[in-house]
């Protein structure tokens, strides 16, 4: 059976890993990644399309000139994209988030196992926790970079606006606001970092204690050791 200190430390890390897992699910399932206002010009008027979307579903509204709302639609993100780059990037983001979800699940399993037992395999101990939490944090960071790239470089919001209203003509300007679904990923990175720090402190304390136990033998007189 593990010591009380080990149980407490790994149980704390398990809690942060579970919270990370839940938040990745929230990020995948919600549509508050981005709110955009995309402005287009036509022959006799200007049109503004207001978008709120996530990785799978979104809503769009069209406003003409002085704010007259023309229509509101619910759309599927993948169906509204004609650009291969934008669609491929969205697909890559989804795959990366699924991988980070699996990493969080494995981190939860490793910390739970260590909280209730002493695994013989080295990789099932702190090394495994470091590995899976680091991987999850890196994947989330990649996602946080890829999504803005898709917005700014591939014109994701413009593509989605034209998918909702195909008759839109010249794009003038866009204004973007990142939603809570995007910023939650910072909290996921923080939770993964917290898990690593908790286990590091436990591992460091255990290593220091082991060295303290070995020191009396190292410092003992040779004749005592021979005796």
* Residue pLDDT, tens place only, 112-149: 988 888 876 677 788 888 999 999 999 999 999 999 99
Least confident of 7-16, 96-105, 137-146: 7-16
Q: Is residue 66 predicted with pLDDT exceeding 60?
A: no
Inside any domain, residue 129: yes
Distance CA 58, CA 77 (A): 7
pLDDT in tens, 188-212: 999 999 999 999 888 776 656 666 6
Q: Half-sphere exposure of 54 toward its Cβ, with a 13 Å CA cutoff?
A: 16
The closest alpha carbon to 91, from 164, 25, 156, belongs to: 156
pTM: 0.85
- Domains held by the chain: number: 1
Domain, as residue range, for 141: 4-32+79-167+180-205
Inside any domain, residue 27: yes
CATH number at residue 137: 1.20.120
Inside any domain, residue 193: yes
Inside any domain, residue 66: no
Give the Å distances, CA to CA, from 49 to 31, 71, 138, 162, 182.
Answer: 17, 10, 34, 9, 21
Q: Half-sphere exposure of 209 toward its Cβ, with a 13 Å CA cutoff?
A: 7
pLDDT at position 167: 79
Over residues 87-99, mean pLDDT: 95
Inside any domain, residue 53: no
C-beta atoms surrounding 83 within 10 Å: 16
Distance CA 59, CA 80 (A): 11
């Amino acid at each position: 059976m593990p010591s009380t200190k080990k149980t407490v430390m790994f149980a704390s890390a398990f809690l942060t890993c579970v919270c990370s897992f839940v938040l990745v699910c929230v990020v995948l399932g919600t549509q508050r990644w981005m709110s955009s206002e995309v402005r287009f010009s036509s022959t006799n008027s200007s049109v503004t399309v207001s978008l709120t979307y996530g990785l799978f579903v979104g809503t769009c509204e069209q406003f003409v000139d002085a704010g007259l709302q023309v229509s509101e639609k619910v759309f599927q993100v993948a169906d509204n994209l004609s650009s291969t780059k934008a669609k491929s990037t969205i697909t890559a983001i989804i795959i990366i988030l699924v991988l980070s979800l699996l990493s969080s699940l494995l981190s939860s399993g490793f910390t739970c196992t260590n909280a209730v037992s002493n695994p013989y395999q080295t990789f099932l101990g702190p090394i495994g926790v470091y590995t899976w939490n680091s991987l999850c944090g890196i994947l989330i960071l990649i996602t946080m970079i890829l999504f803005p790239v898709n917005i700014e470089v591939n014109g994701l919001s413009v593509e989605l606006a034209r998918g909702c209203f195909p008759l839109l003509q010249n794009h003038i300007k866009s204004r973007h606001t990142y939603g809570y679904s995007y910023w939650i990923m910072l909290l996921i990175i923080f939770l993964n970092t917290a898990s690593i720090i908790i286990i590091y402190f436990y591992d460091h304390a255990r290593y220091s204690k082991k060295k303290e136990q070995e020191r009396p033998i190292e410092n003992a007189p040779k004749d005592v050791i021979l005796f």
